Structure 1
Amino acid sequence: MSPKPQQNHLLAALSPEVQERLFPYLELVPLPLCAVLYESRRPMGHVYFPTDSIVSLQYLMENGASTAISVVGNEGLLGITLFLGGESTLSRSLVQSAGYAYRLPKPRVEDEFNRHGELLLLMLRYTQALITQVSQTAVCNRHHSIEQQLCRWLLLSMDRLSHNHLTMTQEFISNMLGVRREGVTQAASKLQHLGVISYSRGLIKVLDRPRLEALSCECYSVVRKETDLLLHYLPQRSVIMDIDAIPIITLRTHRE
């Protein structure tokens, strides 16, 4: 069954009147793992509203190295540059968790944005939440351990999943965090030893989310609190998890 536009919480928060204007122009597109939606300094023609996918915004260095500066999922949208007056972005947008998104052509975004109505307000509030995430990611990458960064990334990913599986290579995660792959493996092994996750043959299963939050640095809680404050339309979240709904994250090496 194809996802509905309302599976994106920002679109769902719009009034029926605004939805009637926008939804006919929404196009459902598949987002395969590692697909590039926006390339650095390339023209942007659409805004994307993820429904069950996660997109990582990555900054690329001249030597080819990269690090993730934020993640976008069903809480918001991808392409804030278009409604802030720009034509391109300095970051690359890479699909971190495969799924779908609805995209809206640039002219329709600008037309609705210029009405100075609901979409304008929601987009600006979302932009503020995204700025907080980018800022805390910069702090985290500079001052916190790989283990803390991995905890933060796991929590941010779980917050944005509409299903409970995430498949990617270990190298992909290390590139997002800007660390060596061996560091990711060591951090995952330590979390397993503490009973926070199980880790076997590339499969990570979260066993204790409250403990995972405790082991994460303050960066996750800062981002979550600011996001919940600004994006009042998001479903209320709880640290108490149903054992049957524990997110599972699959890591694959290039040998598999």
Structure 2
Amino acid sequence: MTDTPKIELRNVTKRFGSKVVLDNLSLVVPKGKSLVVIGGSGTGKSVMLKCVLGILRPEKGEIFVDGENVLKMSTSEREQTLRKFGMLFQGAALFDSLPVWQNVAFGLIQGRKMKRKEAKDVAIAKLAKVGLGPEVGELYPAELSGGMQKRVGLARAIAADPEIIFFDEPTTGLDPIMADVINDLIIDSVKDLGATALSITHDMASARKIADEIAMIYKGRIIWAGPRSEIDSSGNDYVDQFIHGRATGPIKMDVLKP
């Protein structure tokens, strides 16, 4: 018998007014695997994550976490399910008014009612996991470089030892070397926790490094999915154009000519 997927979306449709953003999208994230969803801006990647997290509610379809339909859960059941998740937001999304350690410990203190001293100890330990010393915990986000902010965001994502981690454009805005450092930290963090990872990105270097499996979203649908090793021989013209960054091909960019 096959394992129940950690996350599964079945025929999920999400509209904003007349614009269909997710169009009968189906996706399976196997337990313990790292799945990266690639696709251009505005293709529905972030909306897909928000639907899984319950921030947005689709008009149609089913979303399962560990075999349970999250769209049919009570508020308390959904809260319990959300405890399984950690999230690295695009741009780190840190609270400017809080020192770094409180940013990392935020979910532990607010969501899990952990005592502040215990939460601070966890935060310092998680910062160490991403290569940041305890002195960084006393700084404020504005005092950090972009790469350090991203590391703090990762420390926060793993603070509660989640079963599932979402990575939203984890390397956006970073230089190639720091992006690779973040990729390595993501791999190590997922492995240490034995977690399932779902990432969205348009950075192919990142996708190739952190993925076990890759899926491509285009116009709100998954148009190809398979092992990372097969991405270069997908036989799909859309995938081929995207991964090689070609201007010509079936994907047309809306560029206004002067």
TM-score by length of 1: 0.29
Name which one, 1 or 2, has greater alpha-carbon Rg. Answer: 2
Greater relative CO (CA pairs within 8 A, separation 6+)? 2
TM-score by length of 2: 0.28
